[in-house]
Each structure stands twice: as C-alpha cells, then as structure tokens.
Amino acid sequence: MADSASDIAAFVESVHPYDSLPRDELQRVIRRFEPRRLKGGSKIYALNEHLPGLFLIMDGSVEVRDSSDSLISQLFPRNTLGERGLLADGRAATNARALTDVLLLMLPAAEFTRLMSEHPVYSRFFTRGKSTEIRRSDLAFRKVTDLMSSPPIVCSPDDTVQEAARLMRSHRVSSLCIVKEGRLVGIITTGDLTARVLAEGLEPARTPISAVMTPAPVSLGEGALVSDVFNLMLERRIAHLPISEGERVIGMVTQTDLTRYQATSSASMVSELSRATSATEMSKITARIPHLLVQLVGGNHAHEVVTRLITDIADAATRRLILLAEAELGPPPVPYLWLACGSQGRQEQTGVSDQDNCIFIDDSFVESHREWFDRFARFVSDGLNTCGYVYCPGDMMATNRRWCQPVKVWREYFRHWIETPGPMAQMLASVMFDLRPIAGTAELFRDLQAETLERASRNSIFVAHMIGNSLKHAPPLGLLRGFATMRAGERRNQIDMKHNGVVPVNDLGRVYALMGRLTPVNTRARLLTAEEAAVISQSGARDLIAAYDLIAELRLRNQAAQVKAGARPDNYLGPYDLGEFERSHLRDAFVVVRTMQSALANGRAATF
C-alpha cells in the first residue's frame, strides 16, 4: 500500500469529482489529504462520533453498518465514506470499520465544506440523489415485480404428486402454483412433498395434488413492495409467496430470490472478482451483470450511478486478470500502464459492452521485452472476452501491437493526429481522448494527457476537425415531430439509443473538454465542468445535461426490460412503444442535442 506523495497525487487525480477541479485547486486539495493506515478490524468511526473529515479509500475494503448493526454496504478503493454525516450535522450517521488492512485518505471537514461551497461540480457529486436519512436497505422499497420469478410454473389440482414432482425437477424450482380455470387455488412446495406425502406414506403416483396442497394461499399484488414480502413471510412463516394480478397468478417470490437479489451488488461482485483464480471463475460473477442492471434501474438510481457501478466491475475484472497474468508470466520487464478507452474509459458501461484498451510502456522498453507484453496483453484480453467483454470489432485492444507501445511512441501518435487531422486521425483521437488508467504506473499517462490537451486545444484546425467529427452522429429526428426510425429488417421502427442517442452527447462532451482543456473523461462530468469553465453557457449546459439524462436513462430502462423479458440487452428502442408523454420528451431531448450540435458548428458553444 504505497502512500508516497506522488502515489497519492496520481490516485486522487483519477477519482471523480477531484478530476474535475481546476489544476491549481486539485494540487491544493491533494496536499490536504492525510494518509491513514488501519489494520483489518479497526474502527474508522462510530455512530454519532464527530467526523474529522471525509475518507477516501485508496487500498483495502471497509464495511458500513447502521445503528442496529445491519450491513449497509461494503466499500472498496475509490469509494468515499463519511459524507452523509458531514452533509448533516458533522457527526457519523453510521458505524464504519476496516474489513482488511486499509489505506485511507482523510480530507479535513473544513476543506470538504469549502469545496462544497466553492465548486458546483464537487457539490453536485455529493448531493445529487442523496438523502440525509440512512435507510436500512434500498431493497425493501423496490417493487416485488423486480425480483419475482416469472412466468410461474403451474399445474392442475387434478395432477398427481408424482407429476408435480417431475415438473419441479425439470424446471429446477422448489414450488408450484396450483391453477384451476386460470385462478390460483393452491400452492405446493418441496417441503410439502416431504411432510405431507413421504412422511405419511402416500403413493405419489395415485395422490392428487389437491389432497396435499396448501389451499387458498396468501398472495400479493403486482404493486406490492419487497418490504411487504418480508413482512408477510415473517408473519406467516412461509418461504414461497405467489404474486397475482386479480385472480391470475403472474409470478412467485421465494426466500432464495430475496437472498440472490441482496447478494447481487456491485460491491459483492467486485469483492468476489478480487479473489477469483481464473477467467472462467470470473465469468460466473460477471454473468450476473444483467441482473445487477435490473436491480439498479429498478431502484431508480441515476444513470451515471448505474453505469459507474457496472464499470467498476469491468475495472475489477481487468485488474484481477492483470494480477493473474503477472503471476503466470513473472514481473514486467519495465513499468507499464493499462488503460481503458471507450465506454469503460468514460465509466459509462451498460449491459452491452465490448473491450477497448491499450498499454503505455516506459521508454526504457526494448524489443526484447516485446514477447512478455504480447503474452501479457493476450492473457488479459482473452480473459476479458471470457468474462463477456467481447473483443473489439475495430481491434482497439492492447493485443494489437499498435496500441501497446512506449510513451514516446504514443506521444508521436498524438502529435501526428493533431498536426495531420484526417478522418482516420480524428477517429483515433476521439477514441484516445477517452483514456482512463486502470492499473500500473499512472505517471506514464498524466504528463502526456496534459500536454496533449494543451497542444490540441491550441490547434484551431484540429479543433475544427474534431467539431466536424462530432457532428457525424445525428439524433434520430424525423419530420412532423416524428422519429427517424429504421425502415426495414428486424430493427424496423426502432432507433439506436447508442449511436444516435448517447454518442452525439459523448462527442459534444469530448469537444467541450478539448476546448476548455478539461481533464474529466466521463461525459456528464465533462458537461458539468464545461459549464463551470464557461465553455458552454449555464442555460445550454442545463438543457443538454437534462436531455442526456433522459436519453441515457431510457436506454438503461429499455435494457432492463429486455433482461426481465429473458432477452439479451441491446441498444434498440421502439419510440412508438412509449407513452405519448415519454415519447414527446424523448423527441424534445433529441432536439436539444441537435441544437447544441448546430451551436457548436456555428461557433456559438459558449453563448448558447
């Protein structure tokens, strides 16, 4: 756990919202952080204690519990704790202790308060969507339809016990709903088969289900909350609960569903990944990402929270594969830095993601080191593919030697792209401006990033080309307040919420960051920082951020609905499947994006 000044600086610079602060301010804040080492099991703070400041986890893991000692969350590197108390009365609202040996960076309370008052981007990060009330579990406030098994497995009351048992075995379920003429009349569980059939010596092949089922079972409607399930299961001492719509059963909730739902969290998945010993083992963890997406969207989390948590899993998988690669291949011959670009680089991954990555190598590299880096890149990239992050169709991966080079080569790449801004150079520059360090020696990128932003922003021809490149993806607007949907094929009457939805805003954010020499990579953070730096006007930023939020959230909701329906999530949405209200607002959002594109093209970004 390194805690030198340079290590702390490199780490803090990579954490949002600190990466959005002006350079001078960032350096001041870095000096104010106080490193604190604690052994596993040590108390960090206790409920109602005065908080000395905000804690940023640099290494290790922490658990947070409420006043009844119920686990609220497990936190890992880059997570913060203590902000709720500081936002309230300065006293801890929870208990926190180190699960492992940890390295914490403590930002004094006075400094936190100053940043909150002087920097809107910083303030928004810690207040957006947060409540000062600590809830025991967000799960309790979810709708029951978010976790029920659907459709339910049913049988007739006239079926035999043996037929029911075989049905349960074939579907791998522990209960069946007994339905007669479309109406729920009973329920049978594996426990009933043991207690009411085997223990009583009944013949399964001759005994009808009606003789051993629980008749007229209690059920809940589709509008019930998970807290209603908890309460009813505890009150009635039952483990299976049908969910109905009128008299028609539409699903089943079991204690196993509740346990599985609670276990599916980004924190638990990151923790499991950190202990995995192979890519195959990791793939079983990342396979739960679609269910996590449903859970997060169902909890009404903001889109930037959902995509950040999903990206955290990709980061953890990448870092674990890097450690496994070094364990197999031996230590690297020279220092290196693994970076992500694309949606992972911007921390905007959804339920559909390929891999985009590269390696910066220290300039002491010689060609005799190439074999190690070839094998290293292949190990990590193959492992990511196994985990569901499929190979990039454009080969923007570290396995391509073009993207695994010493820093001096990368510096020449950026110089050439900026000085000779052709179409290919523009495309590559757009991808590489979204780079974010994942593991390795961060100093290999930090100076190059600042140098490239300065050089690029001073080249008016390059900026003009970048603006032109950002206008290639147009919002799907049609005539007469309609949408420009696809006209044929399996995607007929649908729109691409990635390439014609979020990508145009990604492109705008990238250009604003270039114009203002802004270091954030995340699109929303870029827009907020661009507003603060007056690259775009306050009204223009407000409208564009609102439009982006709506587009991104509808994209995620559509993916979650696809997962719940048993389909693979994708980026295609049928706008005419939406209600009139949502459809109208979506179109208005696309109009805002097009207007901002026009303003940028006409050189009016800062005045719109």
Domain CATH number, residue 56? 2.60.120.10
Q: Give me the pLDDT at residue 572, please.
A: 95
Q: Give one DSSP letter per residue of 234-288, joined into a string.
A: HHHT-SEEEEEETTEEEEEEEHHHHHHHHH--HHHHHHHHHH--SHHHHHHHHTT
Task: List the single range of 76-80, 320-324, 374-378 with lowest mean pLDDT.
Answer: 76-80
Counted residue by residue, the chain has a size of 608
Rounded average pLDDT over 372-400? 96
Taking alpha carbons only, the member of 218, 227, 217, 72 closest to residue 144 is 227
Does residue 38 register a pLDDT over 90? yes
Domain CATH number, residue 222? 3.10.580.10
Same domain, residue pair 240 and 358: no
Same domain, residue pair 481 and 444: no
Do 116 and 126 contact (CB within 8 A), yes or no? yes
Q: Which domain holds residue 385?
A: 314-458
Structure tokens at 190: 């594996």
Do 362 and 336 contact (CB within 8 A), yes or no? yes
Rounded average pLDDT over 589-599? 94
Do 382 and 317 contact (CB within 8 A), yes or no? no
CA distance 341 to 130: 29
Residue 607 lies in a domain: no
Same domain, residue pair 131 and 159: no
Domain boundary among 135, 165, 182: 135
| Residue 123 binned pLDDT confidence (cut-offs 50, 70, 90) | confident
Same domain, residue pair 31 and 150: no
Same domain, residue pair 323 and 408: yes
pLDDT digits over 304-352, tens only? 888 988 998 999 999 999 999 999 999 999 999 999 999 999 999 998 8
Same domain, residue pair 352 and 255: no
Residue 444 lies in a domain: yes
Does residue 465 register a pLDDT over 60? yes
Does residue 135 register a pLDDT over 60? no
pTM for the predicted model, two decimal places = 0.70
Rounded average pLDDT over 379-393? 96
Same domain, residue pair 364 and 400: yes
Q: Give me the pLDDT at residue 136, please.
A: 36
CA distance 335 to 323: 14
Residue 608 lies in a domain: no
Domain boundary among 107, 135, 163: 135
Residue 82 lies in a domain: yes
User: How many independent structural domains does the chain possess?
Assistant: 4
Do 122 and 68 contact (CB within 8 A), yes or no? no
Q: Is the torsion defined by CA of 292, 297, 303, 305 positive or negative?
A: negative
Does residue 134 register a pLDDT over 60? no
Does residue 606 register a pLDDT over 70? no
Residue 274 lies in a domain: no
Does residue 234 register a pLDDT over 80? no
Residue 466 lies in a domain: no
Does residue 130 register a pLDDT over 50? no
Does residue 104 register a pLDDT over 50? yes
Do 214 and 246 contact (CB within 8 A), yes or no? no
Amino acid occupying residue 371 = E
Do 362 and 334 contact (CB within 8 A), yes or no? yes
Domain CATH number, residue 324? 3.30.460.10
Task: List the single range of 298-302, 452-456, 597-601 with lowest mean pLDDT.
Answer: 298-302
**Cα–Cα distances in Å, from 126 out to 14, 191, 220, 263, 406?**
17, 48, 37, 26, 38
